Structure 1
Amino acid sequence: MPARERNHPLRLLTGALASSRPWTFLRSSQIGHRIRHSLSAKLAVAITLAALVLLLVFGIIVASQLRSSMFETRKDAILADASLRFSSAQSVFSSSTATSPDQVQESARGALASLKASAAGAGATNVALLRSEGSTASLRINQIEDEQMRGLITPQMREAVAQGGAQWQSVGIRASDSDKVSPGILVGTQVQLPRAGTHELYILYSLAADQRQVDVVLRVLVLSALPIIVTLPIGVFALLHRLLLPVRLTVSAATKAAEGDLDVRVEVHGADEMAALGRAFNAMTSSLQDTISRYDELAKLQQRFVSDVSHELRTPLTTIRMAEDIVWDNREDLPAHARRSAELLHDQTERMEQMLADLLEISRYDAASALLDAEERDLRPIVTRVVEACAELAQRQGVPVEVVAPARAAAEIDERRIERVIRNLVVNAIEHADGTRVTITVATSATDVACRVRDRGVGMTQEVADHVFDRFYRADTARARTTGGTGLGLAIATEDVAIHGGRLQAYGEPGKGASFLMTLPKHAGDEIASWPLALWEDE
């Protein structure tokens, strides 16, 4: 039987599949945090999502194949049944002896009633008989149709039937007592009525029973997948949690090692990659522990050497100092060349004494034996003393020094140490000012005090500023120094400030000068809560 498909997409997908929606999991911030920070949970979620996607794709493919297979099978059966019904109806019409319009009308009604009853076993639910458009028969009868058929028979369907042969179309059948729509197939063809001419005969077949079968099958598939969806993440998480146990143990051990506990070790079992990770971690911590132990021992030996040498040198230096004092006091009685030697001896003896003092001071900090003698003092008199002591050096270098201290800036300080810090900063500024002005600024806030020493000389790069407080560091070894030094001045200054709970900072720009900022809490040992002065101010 020839057939032409019209509006083919049959809505045969199961209601269960069509109405199923992705599950929505309400996750609190705590659960989300745990998932983000747990590799086992993230892998379990990823594998579960991948499995759900596979199940969804599998379900869509199965539903599509089941729909297409059942629809094609049912369509062929319906078209075969409709062909028999159409032939039977045409035979009835052809053998009819009706001559009047009423007789023809009654004969048609009887034939359609018989047709509807006989086709009910194949799923037929309704029939209709319509007059063909353009019919020229002289005898006319009423069309046989109801409201349902009138809404289903479209002009396109009638046009296809008018071209000849049996035609079919997928339709949606709405139940009279509800808004539920079930799939169906409408089949039509032309028949010849005695004396009434060409008419169109339509049979409506319902696929509701087939729809219910598809629903049942897919509902079984969904219910079968539910245990997998529920147990899969739990099983995957449990498995991964067990497999990743060595990783968690290694992370815990690494955290302890980062906190300084290098005695921590990881228990190693087996010979897989996890065991190799544990052995590598144990080897790493053992190597670090040995290396740090050697460095600690070397550092202690170095500190002891510096301390011992410094103390041992004090005795001969004291003797040299006594002899130098005698020579210095009687230098006027010496010849000219010997007088110059006495001056050199005096200067170098003072320099050596300063070097020994610095070495002893830094060794005290290394041995954690430095003591803080803190009393409340104003920084302004200390700055004034330092400026007066450096006046000769500033005059010799041609460097003007100005002090900006508008208000009292008192704090609990060890006056000797803070004076040493300021003196060191001022001397360095005078040496590197190259004849430009040096400004010393003192300021205070409710919780802190600050002193900034700013020159406008050669300046320094950021790399130099990062290392300027390192021991024995010099930015330019070729630069001539007028006051000598050990390279420990700024390192000792940093320790002097740190023992108060303060901070010493440095910044500079080449050609624009350098700035050193000392910030101290008003109560020794407190943390800095404010910054009374900025480290750098452009001019």
Structure 2
Amino acid sequence: MKFVRPVVAKAQILIEEARKRWAAFGDLWRRSLQLRVVVSTLALSSAVVFVLGMVLQMQITNQLLDTKEQAAVRQANASRSLIQSDLIGLNPGPDSVQTRFTSAINKLAVGGVGTDATTAGAGAFEPVLADGLGSGRVPFVGPLDDVPRGLRQMVEDGRDGTQIHTVQRGKTQTTLFVVGLPMSTSSRSMQLYLIFPLTSEQRTAEVVQSTLVVGGIVLLILLALIANLVTRQVVRPVRQAAEVAERFADGTLHERMHVVGEDDVARLAESFNEMAESIQAQFKQLEEFGQLQRRFTSDVSHELRTPLTTVRMAADVLHASREQFPAGLARSTELLVDELDRFESLLGDLLEISRLDAGVEELTAEQVDMRVLARRAHDSVRAISTTAGSPVVLDLPDDELIAELDSRRVERILRNLLANAIDHGEGQPVELAMRGNADAVAITVRDHGVGLRQGEAELVFSRFWRADPSRNRRTGGTGLGLSISLEDARLHGGWLEAWGEPGHGAVFRLTLPRRHGEDVRESPLPLAPAIELEPVAVVEEPVVAEEPAEVELTPEEITWQPAEPVDATPADKAADEVSEEVR
């Protein structure tokens, strides 16, 4: 075990290194078109060269063997004709057979005897003569053991035959081509075998094989270089176009491609440049329009503050004297003050969002306990929560949850989320939960109202967007609260997300980094809650008898509510004259 563990650890390291290299190659393979083309071309070329080399080698080898066989058969026939006359009238004695065989073999071994132009290609050979009619040991002359047993049986049966055979000679194996011919005399049957070594043919085949291998490797290298060169010529403009497009996407709108020639790549460059010019012109128009819109919003907001101040002063005078007015006029005065409050909030939101659009807002980050901000936001919406009958349930951690952020903006985000949840909660409780980890803090605000339909989770942060335009607001919001909250969250480097299901309410999740300037990787709280199977019970808070909640009326209800006739007293007439002057 002591020696196995290091081996296993080293094997694991090698496997991990191989896995990393394979992953790196996979990434390079997916990203590089040039590599894919070169490797594909090399693979297909290798298959073609291998098949072609095998075919060529087989053709050359077969041609060599066919030529050798034809020459060897002609040589064997010529040798049989040469010694046929010397073996006629052979005596049956063993000594006589052996002597006559030796004489015939020596005659074949004499150079030039029985050789002409048709048998010159047969090469050197070893003759063997054997007597096939004797019992026991057969008389023979020559290396009869190198002749295959099957070929000897064929020739003894009176048929011509050839066979390629490999024998062990010394420490090497030698391939032989053996030709066997029967020889008949008046008294007995004999067999003539010619053994042709295939050494020269083997050398020729090896030379052809090595030549094909070297030529194939050289051809593959050349094909790889050619494919790399051709692919590079095609891919280089595409890479340049990708680099230009990346710089263009990063905001460098003056980037253009170089147009060279009149080919397809040149037309691609021209089309890209035309598209870039069109996009740049549209961006310029949008920037000018955005600047004009922001300037208009800012100017209108500032210009409206002076008359709004005058109207506010007059409204405050009327509101202070509302007890002297008739009931209907006094109520109208109160509604006027409420609408002026909403109008001032709208102007403030317009100024805030115009500053956010212009990018001039800055964070004032400080160390803050998030629980304190949640309680402040809860206190600020307590009145509308009581009026709507939607109590806010806080689920805060027991320990401090410190984060570095702009407390004013985060408190505004929480206040907007709570007010929105109360406005759409349909009298159900609103739940605020807070959790944190080492890197981030998350707050979820959930209502149990009508919820959000599919696709509305992305629209809730749009300016002045309402899920149901016919539905009256309870809190008198401006329609910009969620948009400003989203921009405040982005200004902190965080997220503001929404989830909703019809009949199950909606959830808004705010996730902020605990340290200013860091990125948020994950949220400590899930966005989608576990949907209850049973309906949520309505929790009613006791109504305080000393301070009854005021009933707010919408402008439509004001339009159709007639004033009650009353008898005017001298004091009422004086108040009417004052109101008329103010109007």
For the aligned pair, the TM-score class normalised by the smaller chain equals: 0.7 to 0.9
CA deviation digits over 1:413-450, x for unaligned, max 9? 43332222111111111122223221112334344433
Asked whether the equivalents of residues 101 and 141 of structure 2 are also in contact (C-alpha less than 8 Å), the reply is no
Deviation at 1:333, TM superposition (A): 1.5
Partner of residue 479 from structure 2, selected from 464, 483, 487: 487
Residue 364 of structure 1 pairs with residue 358 of structure 2: no
- 1:103-502 matches, within 5 Å, as 103-117=96-110, 122-132=122-132, 135=133, 142-144=138-140, 149-155=144-150, 157-174=151-168, 176-182=169-175, 184-192=176-184, 195=187, 197-217=188-208, 219-220=210-211, 227-242=218-233, 244-405=235-396, 406-461=398-453, 463-502=455-494
Q: Which residue of the partner structure matches residue 66 of structure 1?
A: 60
CA distance in 2, matches of 1:447, 1:249: 40
CA distance in 2, matches of 1:274, 1:431: 59
SS at match of 1:467: coil
Letter of the 2:343 counterpart: M
Q: Which residue of the partner structure matches residue 510 of structure 1?
A: 502
Q: Which residue of the partner structure matches residue 100 of structure 1?
A: 93
Q: TM-score, normalised by structure 2?
A: 0.77
The structure-2 alpha-carbon separation of the partners of 1:40 and 1:178, relative to structure 1 and needing over 3 Å to count, comes to same
Which range moves more in the overlay, 374-383 or 322-331?
A: 374-383
The structure-2 alpha-carbon separation of the partners of 1:457 and 1:143, relative to structure 1 and needing over 3 Å to count, comes to farther
Letter of the 2:468 counterpart: D
Asked whether the equivalents of residues 468 and 474 of structure 1 are also in contact (C-alpha less than 8 Å), the reply is yes
Deviation at 1:348, TM superposition (A): 1.5
Letter of the 1:103 counterpart: S
Asked whether the equivalents of residues 126 and 149 of structure 1 are also in contact (C-alpha less than 8 Å), the reply is no
CA distance in 2, matches of 1:421, 1:462: 24
| Contiguous gaps of at least 5 residues in structure 1 | 1-27
Letter of the 1:314 counterpart: R
The structure-2 alpha-carbon separation of the partners of 1:119 and 1:404, relative to structure 1 and needing over 3 Å to count, comes to farther
Which range moves more in the overlay, 264-273 or 528-537?
A: 528-537
CA distance in 1, matches of 2:63, 2:513: 86
CA distance in 2, matches of 1:484, 1:82: 119
Asked whether the equivalents of residues 116 and 124 of structure 1 are also in contact (C-alpha less than 8 Å), the reply is no
Asked whether the equivalents of residues 312 and 340 of structure 2 are also in contact (C-alpha less than 8 Å), the reply is yes
Letter of the 1:419 counterpart: E
Asked whether the equivalents of residues 413 and 488 of structure 2 are also in contact (C-alpha less than 8 Å), the reply is yes
SS at match of 1:518: strand
Q: Percent identity?
A: 35
Q: Which residue of the partner structure matches residue 551 of structure 2?
A: none
Which range moves more in the overlay, 111-120 or 517-526?
A: 111-120
CA distance in 1, matches of 2:92, 2:438: 121
Partner of residue 83 from structure 1, selected from 67, 73, 77: 77
Letter of the 2:503 counterpart: G
Alpha-carbon RMSD across the aligned residues, in angstroms, is: 3.0
CA distance in 2, matches of 1:532, 1:315: 46
Letter of the 1:144 counterpart: F
SS at match of 1:519: strand
Asked whether the equivalents of residues 409 and 442 of structure 1 are also in contact (C-alpha less than 8 Å), the reply is no
Letter of the 2:385 counterpart: A
The structure-2 alpha-carbon separation of the partners of 1:517 and 1:158, relative to structure 1 and needing over 3 Å to count, comes to same
Letter of the 1:123 counterpart: G
SS at match of 2:275: helix
SS at match of 1:452: strand
CA deviation digits over 1:292-317, x for unaligned, max 9? 11111111111111111111111111
CA deviation digits over 1:386-436, x for unaligned, max 9? 333333322333223211222322333433322221111111111222232
Deviation at 1:501, TM superposition (A): 3.2
Q: Which residue of the partner structure matches residue 20 of structure 1?
A: none
The structure-2 alpha-carbon separation of the partners of 1:250 and 1:119, relative to structure 1 and needing over 3 Å to count, comes to farther
Asked whether the equivalents of residues 105 and 142 of structure 1 are also in contact (C-alpha less than 8 Å), the reply is no
Letter of the 1:62 counterpart: L
Deviation at 1:488, TM superposition (A): 0.9
Which range moves more in the overlay, 489-498 or 198-207?
A: 198-207
CA distance in 1, matches of 2:494, 2:25: 43
Deviation at 1:519, TM superposition (A): 2.6
Deviation at 1:50, TM superposition (A): 4.1
Which range moves more in the overlay, 208-217 or 354-363?
A: 208-217
Which range moves more in the overlay, 418-427 or 459-468?
A: 459-468
CA distance in 1, matches of 2:46, 2:124: 40
Asked whether the equivalents of residues 298 and 351 of structure 2 are also in contact (C-alpha less than 8 Å), the reply is yes
CA distance in 1, matches of 2:382, 2:198: 111
Deviation at 1:93, TM superposition (A): 1.6
Q: Which residue of the partner structure matches residue 11 of structure 1?
A: none
Letter of the 2:401 counterpart: A
Which range moves more in the overlay, 232-241 or 339-348?
A: 232-241
Deviation at 1:185, TM superposition (A): 2.0
Asked whether the equivalents of residues 258 and 269 of structure 2 are also in contact (C-alpha less than 8 Å), the reply is yes
Deviation at 1:166, TM superposition (A): 1.4
CA deviation digits over 1:220-270, x for unaligned, max 9? 555556654444433443454345443333232122112221211122121
Letter of the 2:474 counterpart: T
How many pairs were matched up? 502
Asked whether the equivalents of residues 425 and 448 of structure 2 are also in contact (C-alpha less than 8 Å), the reply is yes
Deviation at 1:478, TM superposition (A): 3.0
SS at match of 1:466: coil
Deviation at 1:56, TM superposition (A): 3.3
The structure-2 alpha-carbon separation of the partners of 1:476 and 1:181, relative to structure 1 and needing over 3 Å to count, comes to farther
